[in-house]
Amino acid sequence: MKDRAALIKDLGRIFPPDRLLDSSAQLAPYESDGLTCFRSRPSAVVLAETQEEVIQTVRWCYQHSVPFMARGSGTSLSGGSVPVADGVVIALNRLSRIVQLDPVERTVTVEPGVVNLKVSEVAAPYNLYYAPDPSSQQICTIGGNLAFNSGGAHCLKYGMTSNHVLGIKAVLPDGEVVHFGGPSLESAGPDLTGFYCGNEGLFGVALEVVLRLLPKPEFFRTVMAAYDSMEAAGNAVTRIVSSGLLPGALEIMDRLAIKAAEAAVQAGYPKDAAAILIVELDGEKDAVESDYIRLSALINETGANTVIVARDTVERMKIWKGRKSAFSAVGRLSADFIVQDGVVPRARLGEALAEIERLSNIYNLRVANVFHAGDGNLHPLILYDGREEGALERAEELAGKIIKLCISMGGSITGEHGVGLEKKAYLPEMFSPVDIETMERVRAQIDPKFISNTGKMLPGGEAPALVIRGLHPLEKEGILSRE
């Protein structure tokens, strides 16, 4: 690998000085992502403005065995976009073109630096929108959503990023440019776009993404119900889902999260509630009103003590503003916190929440719970004081207990935040050695030198002795196209 001075000199042939960052002050903002307890300093950050600059940088990194990582807004909550030490960060925020919008076919092609919410804004004049809506959708980018297969509040009904990606143009870690899928809603053969979604940067850099757009729902019913316990709110979710209703969103916030959200945005949540449940029905007006009658009966049966129904768009957005602001709002309660992302079966949601509360008391650490209840995707925020000796380690131990709890209940270590650095140690508890070796073999075929976002997701950080030289398997099968 080249020394730092030579690395900077070579990159200077691709990027002008104002887009090649190498001083300590310039590199500092890129040292961590949304999970700030992990930090690493790269040798350089390049601010790419064109796809060709990204391709040239990746090819240069491959030629000289320099590790690299592509990054958007850095909102990852698993350490997935922490730089590779002494490597290169390829910043993609300036690759923000809307390449093509087809309102007839309901597709849009975007570059990876396009902000999630921007997609819905450009589609709005055609009465269309982009369904995946992470809490950070005002700043997170499509490239990062693709890398971590992001979901959001409405993923229960509309699915994750992978359910809305039709085509991908990417540069693989060895510099090859490939095309997966395309603009058609129908595809034949292996689901290569689904294969690429959620790769956490191990498969190179996406350059363009074709997204599916949906018609805006005709009508909404947004309900906020307050409960005296988290377990009661969790059991209400089980009742609603088992009834056959399919809400657009089904979210829970606990007392701490309510307190933080109210202090930050005054969403109008009951301050004395132990938990609130947000349920949103959407679709054709008659169908929504019919489902609302059933939903109201269920909420009454599950013991809600306060029920608020949004009367118009302003009240609906006020309810959602509190939920969307919850993660950042918790910063008012604690300067330091770890966000977890485990999944449990919906039928065991109440049991899981009760156990998290028990663990919180044992470790004497406050836990604010905000999560996508409809698909059992828990987001416990573990609050700690980083100035207190041993506090981070205690918080990490509690986070590990929650992850193991999810596994023991038949769930997963991640729902949408990814494995990153934070949870890769728990991968062997969920998958067998054969499973993990298979993952490493697939990764080695695509990234023979293990230079793309090295050290993330998989337990091993270095290239194992299982790299198979020659053509990529997908190319052998004739299903991977190249430029």
3 pLDDT band, cuts 50/70/90, is confident
Give the confidence band of 461 by pLDDT, cuts at 50, 70, 90.
low
- What is the reported pTM? 0.90
Architecture of the domain delimited by 219-328: 2-Layer Sandwich (3.30)
Residue 152 DSSP symbol = B
Local confidence band at 474 (pLDDT 50, 70, 90 cut-offs)? very low
Identify the bridge partners of residue 452 per DSSP, sorted by sequence position.
Answer: 68
Per-residue confidence (pLDDT) for residue 404, from 0 to 100: 95
Query: What percent helix, strand, coil does the chain show, rounded to 5?
Result: 40, 20, 40
Torsion angle (degrees, nearest 10) of CA 43, 68, 30, 27: 20
Maximum Cα interatomic distance, the chain, rounded to a whole number of Å:
69
End-to-end, the C-alpha distance of the chain in Å comes to 27
Residue 187 near residue 167, CB atoms below 8 Å: no
The pLDDT, as a whole number, for residue 476 is 39
Same CATH fold assignment for domains 219-328 and 335-426: yes
| Residue-wise pLDDT tens digits, 344-378 | 998 888 789 889 989 999 999 999 998 888 888 99
CATH T-level fold of 335-426? Alpha-Beta Plaits (3.30.70)
Domain boundaries, the chain: 4-91, 98-216, 219-328, 335-426, 432-476
Which of the two residues, 327 and 48, has the higher pLDDT score? Answer: 48
- Class of CATH domain 98-216: alpha beta
319 within 8 A of 278, measured Cβ to Cβ: yes
Could you tell me which CATH class the domain 4-91 is placed in? alpha beta
Tell me if 169 sits within 8 A of 208, measured CB to CB. Answer: yes
Q: What is the mean pLDDT of residues 452-469?
A: 64
Q: How many CB atoms lie within 10 A of CB 48?
A: 25
CA atoms of 367 and 357, how far apart (whole Å): 8
Residue type, 248: G
Q: Is the Cβ–Cβ distance between 233 and 252 less than 8 Å? A: yes
> What digits encode the pLDDT tens for the residues 156-175?
999 999 999 999 999 999 99
Lowest mean pLDDT among 129-133, 428-432, 452-456, 464-468: 464-468
Q: What is the pLDDT of residue 463?
A: 41
Dump pLDDT digits (tens) for 53-96. 999 999 999 999 999 999 999 999 999 999 988 899 999 999 99
Confidence of residue 189 (pLDDT cuts 50, 70, 90): confident
